Amino acid sequence: MQVSTRAAQFEATVESRESVSDHLVRLVLGGLDEWPSTGVPDEWVAIVVPGQFQSRYYTVRDFRDGRLTLDVVVHDQGLVTEWAMRDCVGDMVAVSEPKASFDPPPDAEWLMLVGDLTAMPAISRIVESHPHLPVRVWAEVPDDLTGYLPDGAEVTWLAPPAAGQSALAAVVEGIEWPEGPGYFWMAGESAQMRAIRKHLMRVVGMASSHYDVMGYWRATAGRQPRAVDPGPIWRAGKAAGKSDDEIWAAYDAAREVGDG
Ligand SMILES: Cc1cc2nc3c(=O)[nH]c(=O)nc-3n(C[C@H](O)[C@H](O)[C@H](O)COP(=O)(O)OP(=O)(O)OC[C@H]3O[C@@H](n4cnc5c(N)ncnc54)[C@H](O)[C@@H]3O)c2cc1C
């Protein structure tokens, strides 16, 4: 049910909760018949869980018959993580309209996808929706996710260096890029993503239309990142004609701890 036309918020009920692996919980939210999917495979929503007013962002793993599937990483502490660890079936959740970023150029002959556990729902959907392109995946995950990614991609599984940490920047620095035009999509810990953007720009020399690198969460060693609503940054960036990548860089900068 759409609860506000201006803010385009929808009200959903948690219909089921199941454990996918040690650190991944699948929630199915129902009652979303009017929710407008973009159909873009990395689309995401902001959700607000009971007792909270701040939102958090989750990728739409699946949407059909008015039901939205989210795969939620459960880590040490956090608004949504602590809620999702409990039995939340029957809880009401506010869900935003979707936004999306995945936008390969029409001449892309290959896809390279890199991400940590938070990126696995998007990577699954991207692989599913591109059966005719060669797809290479690097997945940095703490759990055994055998069977989680659809068939059709060549996958390299990597372990994170430690709980709550990521070393994906070094992985990307070691990639041998295929010949011809393609598209590189990546999401994960924000500091890693910043390093990767620099590498792509300065070392690989890739055109920004051929990659999308998104900071999904910030490793803050116990400190909270600044809560920044990406909505205004997104709208202002689009209005100014900025690329998705420039907008994501501005979002990362706005969330810098201790800044402003
Ligand atoms: C576009 C987009 C799509 C996303 N899709 C997904 C998705 O499908 N599934 C998913 O699980 N996440 C996804 N994320 C990431 C998710 O929004 C963040 O991890 C968020 O901070 C989790 O909220 P929380 O309430 O659990 O923790 P918060 O209250 O935000 O943070 C509490 C503490 O936990 C740490 N922390 C936050 N996230 C993680 C993590 N993943 N691992 C270890 N420590 C962490 C923080 O540094 C902080 O110290 C997405 C983010 C974006 C921007």
Domain of 155, CATH number, reads: 3.40.50.80
Q: What does the pLDDT average to over 30-50?
A: 97
SS3 for 9?
strand
Do the bridges between strand 92-96 and strand 44-48 make them parallel or antiparallel, or are there none, so unpaired? Answer: antiparallel
158 token code pair:
């990597």
Domain shared by 146 and 245, yes or no:
yes
Structural domain including 202 reads 111-254
168 token code pair:
């994906």
Domain shared by 127 and 246, yes or no:
yes
CA of 181 to the centre of ligand 1 (A): 32
Tell me if 219 CB under 6 Å of ligand 1.
Answer: yes
Asked if residue 54 lies in contact with residue 48, where contact means CB atoms within 8 angstroms, the answer is yes
Tell me if 217 CB under 6 Å of ligand 1.
Answer: yes
User: What's phi and psi for 176, nearest 5 deg?
Assistant: -95, 120
Closest-lying ligand 1 atom to the alpha carbon of residue 73? 11
pLDDT per residue over 102-137, tens digit each?
999 999 999 999 999 999 999 999 999 999 999 999
Domain shared by 79 and 45, yes or no:
yes
Q: What does the pLDDT average to over 48-69?
A: 96
Dihedral angle computed from the Cα positions of residues 72, 73, 79 and 80, in that order, rounded to the nearest 10 degrees: 10
Residue with tokens 């759409």: 2
Q: At what angle do helices 244-254 and 230-239 cross, to 10 degrees?
A: 140
Asked if residue 127 lies in contact with residue 113, where contact means CB atoms within 8 angstroms, the answer is yes
Q: Is residue 179 part of a domain?
A: yes
CA of 109 to the centre of ligand 1 (A): 32
CA of 62 to the centre of ligand 1 (A): 19
CA of 60 to the centre of ligand 1 (A): 14
Q: Is residue 102 part of a domain?
A: no
CA–chain centroid gap for 20, Å, is 17
- pLDDT of the residue at 253: 79
pLDDT band, very low/low/confident/very high, at 178 (cuts 50, 70, 90): very high
pLDDT above 70 for 193: yes
Domain shared by 85 and 115, yes or no:
no
pLDDT above 80 for 21: yes
* DSSP one-letter string for 67-112: EEEEEEE--SS-HHHHHHHS--TT-EEEEEPPB------TT---EE
Q: Is residue 18 part of a domain?
A: yes
- Among 24, 42, 118, which is best to mutate for testing ligand 1, by the most ligand atoms less than 8 A from CB? 118
- pLDDT of the residue at 81: 96
Residue having the nearest C-alpha atom to atom 30 of ligand 1: 78
Domain shared by 89 and 123, yes or no:
no
Number of domains in the chain: 2
